[in-house]
Chains A and B, each alone.
Chain A
Amino acid sequence: MRRLALTAVVLSIASCKRSAPNPSALVTDHAAPLVSIVQVKDPAASAQLVKGFYPVEAGAWRWTMKQFEVVLKPPPGAAENGAKLNLKLAVPEAIISKVGPVTLGANINGLALPPETYSKSGDYEYTRDVPAAALKGDAVAVQFSSDKGIGPTSDDARELSVIAVSVGLEPK
């Protein structure tokens, strides 16, 4: 009798049921077409934010790490004429006051673009011409790199550098 009870216990543990199907627990996003200009607040475009971005704040912008990366669709004609890379960003006083001027550069499909230094806090646009040779294909990776940031600290595990609002490739 005791053996029977023990067997029942073991079998009931060993036969733990998997939970029932729950289709609403996972939303399938069919690949939305890539866009040339990404508003970082736009959830639909978040797939193009590859790395280095924190969640949206105030429904408008995202903190970035020192290295951050997006994938963009080259605009029409870019493979022949090139395009203009444009990053709308803000350099917060909290960063400048702690680490001084921040230099931001970009690399598009492996092509390094000239950096720019921001000595004061405020809103900026980092704009650079991109040659046609770097814009072949349906998608290009753009890696941004800033030389300074703050954290992680004991209060905030994040590494914070600049605030990104939008990034895009505009036709020339």
Chain B
Amino acid sequence: MKRTAYYLCAPVVCLALFWKGLFTWFRLDDFAFLGLASTVHDFPSLGHALFHPVAQGTVRVISDRLFFLSLYTMFGVRAGPFHVVIWVLWFIALALITEIGTRITGSRAAGLLAALLCTVSKVMVAPLAWVAISEVIFCAVFALAALYSRIRWLESGRRGWQAAEWIFYILGFGAQESMVMYPAVAVVYTMAVTRKNVLAKGRRGVFALFIPAAIFTAIHAFLIPRLPSEIYRVAIDTRLPDTLSMYLRMAVGPEHYASRKILLPVLASFVIWRLWRRDWAALFCGAWFLLWLAPVLPLPNHISEYYLATPLIGLAWLGGWGLVVAWRAGWTARTAAAVLVTLYLANAVPAIGEETAWYLNGSSRMRLLFRGMQEAARRYPGTAVIFKGVDNDLFQTGFQDNPYRLAGVSKAFLAPGSENGIVAREDLGGVKRFTISTEDALRLIESAQARVLEITAGPPHDVTESFETVMRAEFLAKHREFVDVGQPLYVSRVGPSWHKIENGYRWMPKSATVQLAGPSSASERLYVSGYAPANVVASGPLTLRFHAAGQDIGSFAVSRPDRKFECDFAIPAKLVGEYAIEISIEAARTFRPRGDDRELGIIFGTFGVH
């Protein structure tokens, strides 16, 4: 019972602090990994989905590929099962941290305190709340499991544990590239904690661990191409100490918090004191932090808190160890340790609460939007979606990672103009691929090729009908220099005498009018197009006379039957800059076809000033 409580302690604290993370939905890279399943159709495509390197050359077969492929296949876009797997792995990691910490420090209390300190860290928010970041938890578990197996092998000499170390180590390459650091960790542990000579017969095998790491590194460095990216550019230069310093500060407390300034010097002093006493286990804890951090130190443009998930364990062991030492050193040291722990918790706990809430709220908005997209795709298969009301926060939750394709939507756009204020990653295509002009949006909507979804606090609203009305008004405001009398869109610009629209054109009677913007310069002309059915010109050419704002601008004789006609006229200079001018057309004669009591002049199409 006591033993169970001992091991449950850290997971319970983790649940109490991070519970919101269990309920977050997918975001950003998650959609790209979830979309992998749609690329699998046969064995070759399965191989491609599992082993093909992605943008930055990563091939995380287990943490990114198998994890997403298998759970998506079983549970679809339900995030719960993904979180359950990640959290179970983290609980296993906490148990291993406890066990290994106990062996490093010689204290069961120190082991448990290390696990507690590790899980009461803001660093763990992203890995526990964002599925795509779970690679760091997979890596931590494989690294800890491999080291624990090594410890048990060194303790017992049983070959089974040595085999287990190799298995966990090799599996770790499928979790994260940082696994190449494990052989160094194993060497340092063997020398510093167990104080065994790694060169002694029977223990030299530790060096064999470097062979897979070297092969993996060589493949990564020479065989896997990478897309050029400023964010992931490797820079081994004078920025390395600054990057290390930043990670150290991030590891001990959230930004701007007092705990950063106090805890680091205290931890450093503790390490120096232990080393002065020739207790090399402290060296291992520091080495654990540095070795696991080393692969990301040359990325000064991509400093991310979650990279600290595995390195942090080294500092947690030191912290747990230090607390136990302080407890045993008398009331002064105990009081100082209690103050430090209180300060750490006072900073970390609210920060964890705020950040898990941020992940929950942001991903909940995306979940609502995604469900709406799925429903839109079901109701209107094959249509594109135009999103109205997407703000930068929602866009940053994963718009550039193509969630709409996963939802079955063929193409996604932001409503014209709403791209302003959106900050998009250029290496992922920028915001341009989501923009659409008013004209194109209107064309897609009118041809039933797009639906418009408005973002609300609840489920999205399908506002296609009202959006179409609004887009038409905006289109007309922008295009006052043109009228197509055969299109309903321009009905407000044609006079009352025109006959009804027929198949995209209109007959005029004896006379008709349209309203257009005045020319913006004297060189602009009025261009007119129409169609002359044979019966219009059966009795000879038909003369059409044109007026602009009441002033005669010329005439045109239509003579060729069953042909389109085009004509153009100069516009009086005094009409330049006029907001609106009325163009009137008068036909020299009309006719009434048999069975139709309408008086028909001629058919018109478009009028434009340019």
Residues of B in contact with A (beta carbons under 8 Å apart): 37-38, 40-43, 46, 69, 72-73, 76-77, 368, 371-372, 374-376, 378-379, 389, 391-392, 408, 415-418, 420-423, 453-454, 456, 458-463, 465-470, 472-474, 476-478, 480, 491-493, 515, 517, 579-580
Q: Are B420 and A52 in contact (CB under 8 A)?
A: yes
Q: Do A24 and B459 form a contact, CB below 8 Å, given A47-B454, A110-B579, A136-B515?
A: yes
Q: Are B454 and A46 in contact (CB under 8 A)?
A: yes
Q: Are B469 and A31 in contact (CB under 8 A)?
A: yes
**Chain B residues within an 8 Å CB radius of A159:** 420-421
Q: Are A50 and B417 in contact (CB under 8 A)?
A: yes
Which chain A residues numbered 105 to 138 have a C-beta less than 8 Å away from chain B? 107-111, 131, 133-134, 136-138
- The 8 Å CB contact of B372, one of A12, A26, A34, is A26
Q: Do A152 and B421 form a contact, CB below 8 Å, given A10-B40, A16-B37, A140-B477?
A: yes
Report how far A24 CA is from B453 CA in the complex, Å: 14
Q: Are B418 and A138 in contact (CB under 8 A)?
A: no
Which chain A residues numbered 5 to 59 have a C-beta less than 8 Å away from chain B? 6, 9-10, 12-14, 16-19, 21-32, 34, 43, 46-48, 50-52, 54-55
Report how far A46 CA is from B467 CA in the complex, Å: 10
**Chain A residues within an 8 Å CB radius of B374:** 18-19, 22, 25
Report how far A38 CA is from B585 CA in the complex, Å: 39
Q: Are B470 and A48 in contact (CB under 8 A)?
A: yes
Q: Are A137 and B417 in contact (CB under 8 A)?
A: no
Sort A-B residue pairs by CB-CB distance and give the 3 closest, nearest first.
A137-B492, A51-B417, A31-B465
Q: Do A71 and B465 form a contact, CB below 8 Å, given A6-B43, A13-B73, A16-B37?
A: no
Q: Are A65 and B477 in contact (CB under 8 A)?
A: no
B507 to chain A, nearest CB (A): 22
A140 to chain B, nearest CB (A): 6
Question: Which A residue's beta carbon lies closest to that of B462?
Answer: A28
Question: Which A residue's beta carbon lies closest to that of B474?
Answer: A141
Report how far A159 CA is from B423 CA in the complex, Å: 11
**Chain B residues within an 8 Å CB radius of A28:** 461-462
Q: Are A14 and B418 in contact (CB under 8 A)?
A: no
Chain A at the B interface: SS class: mixed
Residues of A in contact with B (beta carbons under 8 Å apart): 6, 9-10, 12-14, 16-19, 21-32, 34, 43, 46-48, 50-52, 54-55, 65, 67, 69, 71, 107-111, 131, 133-134, 136-141, 143, 152, 157-159
Q: Are A140 and B473 in contact (CB under 8 A)?
A: yes
Report how far A43 CA is from B388 CA in the complex, Å: 13
- The 8 Å CB contact of B473, one of A16, A43, A131, A137, is A137
Can you list 23 A-B pairs with a CB-CB distance of less than 8 A? A9-B46, A13-B69, A14-B40, A14-B41, A16-B37, A17-B76, A22-B371, A22-B375, A25-B374, A26-B375, A29-B462, A29-B463, A47-B466, A50-B470, A54-B421, A65-B421, A69-B474, A71-B474, A107-B477, A110-B477, A110-B579, A139-B472, A141-B477
Q: Do A133 and B408 form a contact, CB below 8 Å, given A10-B40, A24-B459?
A: no
Q: Do A141 and B459 form a contact, CB below 8 Å, given A16-B76, A18-B408?
A: no
Q: Are A10 and B42 in contact (CB under 8 A)?
A: yes
Report how far A19 CA is from B461 CA in the complex, Å: 19
**Chain B residues within an 8 Å CB radius of A29:** 454, 461-463, 465-466
Q: Are B415 and A133 in contact (CB under 8 A)?
A: no
Report how far A26 CA is from B69 CA in the complex, Å: 28
Report how far A27 CA is from B466 CA in the complex, Å: 14
Q: Are A43 and B456 in contact (CB under 8 A)?
A: yes
Question: Which B residue's beta carbon lies closest to that of A17?
Answer: B76
**Chain B residues within an 8 Å CB radius of A50:** 417, 470, 474
**Chain A residues within an 8 Å CB radius of B493:** 136-137
**Chain A residues within an 8 Å CB radius of B492:** 136-138
Q: Which of B43, B468, B480, B579: most chain A CB closer than 10 A?
A: B579
Report how far A14 CA is from B69 CA in the complex, Å: 10
- The 8 Å CB contact of A47, one of B73, B467, B478, is B467
**Chain A residues within an 8 Å CB radius of B579:** 110-111, 131, 133-134
Q: Are A26 and B473 in contact (CB under 8 A)?
A: no
**Chain A residues within an 8 Å CB radius of B469:** 31, 34, 71, 138-139
**Chain B residues within an 8 Å CB radius of A143:** 477
Q: Are A26 and B376 in contact (CB under 8 A)?
A: yes
B411 to chain A, nearest CB (A): 18
Report how far A140 CA is from B416 CA in the complex, Å: 17
Question: Which A residue's beta carbon lies closest to that of B370?
Answer: A25
Q: Are B408 and A71 in contact (CB under 8 A)?
A: no
Report how far A126 CA is from B492 CA in the complex, Å: 27
**Chain A residues within an 8 Å CB radius of B515:** 133, 136
Q: Are B476 and A19 in contact (CB under 8 A)?
A: no
Report how far A28 CA is from B184 CA in the complex, Å: 60
**Chain B residues within an 8 Å CB radius of A25:** 368, 371-372, 374-375, 459
Q: Are B517 and A110 in contact (CB under 8 A)?
A: yes
Report how far A123 CA is from B304 CA in the complex, Å: 44
A129 to chain B, nearest CB (A): 13
**Chain B residues within an 8 Å CB radius of A13:** 37, 40, 46, 69, 73
**Chain A residues within an 8 Å CB radius of B72:** 16
Question: Which A residue's beta carbon lies closest to that of B477?
Answer: A141
Report how far A139 CA is from B489 CA in the complex, Å: 11
Q: Are A137 and B372 in contact (CB under 8 A)?
A: no
Question: Which B residue's beta carbon lies closest to that of A110?
Answer: B480
**Chain A residues within an 8 Å CB radius of B378:** 18, 21
Give 4 A-B pairs besides A47-B470, A51-B417, A138-B469 with Cβ atoms closer than 8 angstroms: A26-B459, A51-B416, A51-B420, A110-B478
